[in-house]
Amino acid sequence: MKLPRSPRWRAASPHADPAVEFPVLDTLRAIGALAVLTTHTAFQSGDYLRNGVWGTILARLDVGVAIFFVLSGFLLSRPWLARAADSARPPSTRRYYEKRLLRIYPVYLVTVVIALVLIPDNEGAGLGTWVSSLLLADPYTSEKLPHGLTQMWSLTAEAAFYVLLPILMRLAIGSGRGLRPWRVLAVATGMVAVNVLWIYVLAGLVQDHTDGAPGLWLPAFASWFAVGIVLALVQVLHDRGQLPVRARAIVDVARMPGVCWAIIGGLVLVAATPVAGPVMFQVGSDGQIFAKHLLYAVIGGLMVLTGVFADRAGTYARVMSWPLLRHLGHISYGVFCIHLAMLSLIYAVTDYSVFSGDGLPVWALSVVLSVLAAELLYRVIEVPSARIADRWRREESRASAPRTEQTAASTR
């Protein structure tokens, strides 16, 4: 089977380094999607509580969400930081919003329709449910999301980050020329502070005045995006030979992927202990909540770090850049969106039942069906949407060209 060419969804590179890509990150995105699918399958099959420590490890694969958030923080903030470092104009905010909308909404829309129409547990969904789901607002209106869409709380948090990113980057860069690392670090520190304040104080206060789930809103996970922004700062400074000596150890560690993955494995094992709290619906202590967030931030940061600074000629980068693995990364968004709908349909049309075991065959079916569905969504929806985004970009560039020439002439 010939793999389709990847649409140009990656974050736009600054004019000074238009060829910059991070191919390993595609594969890491696939790993994140597989982790999320696996933890959800394990939960619905009852494997969290049936397999001792292994069951707890399966529960902790929700760390895939942290991987996604760190990736988004890195990839989406980098164009702003790189352009600032080159004293160039920042990316077009309008183009950024258009690209984000076309990136996430078409596949999400199809998933909502499939879930609300085909999943038996959603039969009779009212107008309010449809409107809330279509607006990507379920976590703001209810603590209970529709079947097949319960994972979308994280996409809602992502979308909120997308909306706020240009504001955050304006704060991080300012209106002058040049990149000032202290401002970027101040913004990242502020995001961490908001995260901590939200978890321990504000979420509870807001919960008293809403039917939604404040614990699933962006502020509760802002620190994971902040990690990605800091990694983008490190990469931009390193790429331009401006990284301080004391920070170069970060790059040195990243170029030892075996060490990084060993640390990641150890941290997952730590997260599988009571340190990170319960695995089901019980609320952990303040210390457990903090520990889980911190562990996931480090895991996500280390994983993304290995992709950002991977030695292109090394074995790790060559293996992780294998075209099939990268393609799985390209369709990973579809896997993330559709996998719970596929899982619900598996339980609806087979003899398997929720919480009755059979985790391995249900997982295998979920992987196969989700990948096939995601491949279809990729070819039919994502690739055409990317072409539309590129066409809009070209049309905007042509429209702005005469104005640019006129401005240049007037300043001679």
Ordered DSSP codes for 253-319: HHT-HHHHHHHHHHHHHHHTSGGG--SSSPPPPHHHHHHHHHHHHHHHHHHHHHHHS--TTSHHHHH
Q: In whole numbers, what is the pLDDT of the chain averaged over residues?
A: 90
Out of 102-111, 353-362, 370-379, pick the least confident.
353-362
Give 56's pLDDT tier (boundaries 50, 70, 90): very high
Concatenating the DSSP letter of every residue in 155-224 gives HHHHHHHHHHHHHHHHHHH-SSSS--HHHHHHHHHHHHHHHHHIIIIIHHHHHTT-SS-GGGSGGGGHHH
| pLDDT of 172 strictly over 50 | yes
- Quick one: pLDDT at residue 9? 47
| pLDDT of 235 strictly over 70 | yes
Rounded CA gap, 384 and 403, in Å?
Answer: 30
Q: Name the burial class of residue 346, with classes exposed (0-12), middle (13-18) and buried (19+) by CB atoms within 10 angstroms of its CB.
A: middle
| pLDDT tens digits along 2-29 | 555 555 444 333 334 444 789 999 999 9
Question: Which one has a higher pLDDT value, 225 or 20?
Answer: 225
| pLDDT of 87 strictly over 80 | yes
Average of pLDDT values for 181-199?
Answer: 97
| pLDDT tens digits along 289-317 | 999 999 999 999 999 999 999 988 899 99
- Quick one: pLDDT at residue 57? 95
- Quick one: pLDDT at residue 227? 98
- Quick one: pLDDT at residue 177? 77
Domain ranges of the chain: 23-401
Rounded CA gap, 77 and 41, in Å?
Answer: 32
Average of pLDDT values for 178-190?
Answer: 95
- Quick one: pLDDT at residue 52? 83
- Quick one: pLDDT at residue 400? 57
- Quick one: pLDDT at residue 178? 86
| pLDDT tens digits along 125-157 | 999 999 999 999 999 999 899 999 999 999 999
- Quick one: pLDDT at residue 151? 97
- Quick one: pLDDT at residue 411? 36
